[in-house]
Amino acid sequence: MSVKSYEAASRAFESQLKEWNWTGQKAGRQNILEAFLQLAIANGFNSVSMRTIANAVNIKPPSLYSHFPDGRDEIVAESLRWHFHRFGVALLEAIEPARNAEEFWDAMVKLHFTRQVRLPESNLWDLLVATDRMAGVLPKELRAQVDDWVTLHEQMYEAAARDMGCPDPGEHVRVVMTLLEGATRWAPRDCTDAELEELADRAVTLSRAILAVDFGSGTQ
């Protein structure tokens, strides 16, 4: 039995995820990363200093360096990796029951949408990645990892779309991902779980409508 495109893309994504193994992370490091994320969400990315992080976890600033020897830059990098890792774990769990490309696509869209609405750090990191594309704020090695990660995620969407009959889905997928990353523009954070589920179904409907659009070759 041949492997579907979306199954192969999922396996590639899972393989990359395993390279970022968080099972050995100590609780102290995770607490610091959590504190950094919460401070960045509440006060803005640039306002978070080593001192404010140390105060949040109730340790002295020099003690942070025993966990992160390279200081704030390392905390930023590890926070970004951790965010992507947690998203990846959740994504693989969401798509695991899928029996075909349509169910795979719907599960991806719903998970993506729900996390954008419910988790403020999703928007924080989308902004950081977008800023890096314009101003190059991330270290070179981390930027390469982020690019690989985003590409693998997009390839999962593209593979499912091809299996669903969209022959050249690159542009369609980029539009869908833009729609989902802007979810908080049209879905309030304080919506109830029932409202969120309804909105997630709407996101699926919109995404499928986008796949059906014939973008053509543009105007001449």
Please list the alpha-helical segments (H only) found in 46-139: 50-57, 61-67, 72-95, 101-118, 120-135
pLDDT for 220: 38
pLDDT tens digits, the chain, 220 residues: what are they? 456 899 999 999 999 888 766 666 678 888 898 898 888 888 887 888 999 999 999 999 889 999 999 998 888 888 888 888 889 999 999 999 999 999 999 999 999 999 999 998 888 888 888 888 888 877 888 888 888 889 999 999 999 999 999 999 999 999 999 999 999 999 988 999 999 999 999 999 999 999 999 887 544 3
**In Å, how far are 75, 103, 156, 211 from 9, measured between CA atoms?**
30, 15, 5, 18
pLDDT at position 213 is 93
Give the CA radius of gyration of the chain. Answer: 19
- Give the number of other Cβ atoms within 10 Å of residue 199's Cβ: 19
Q: What's the pLDDT score for residue 137?
A: 76
Can you tell me which residue has the tokens 């998970």? 111
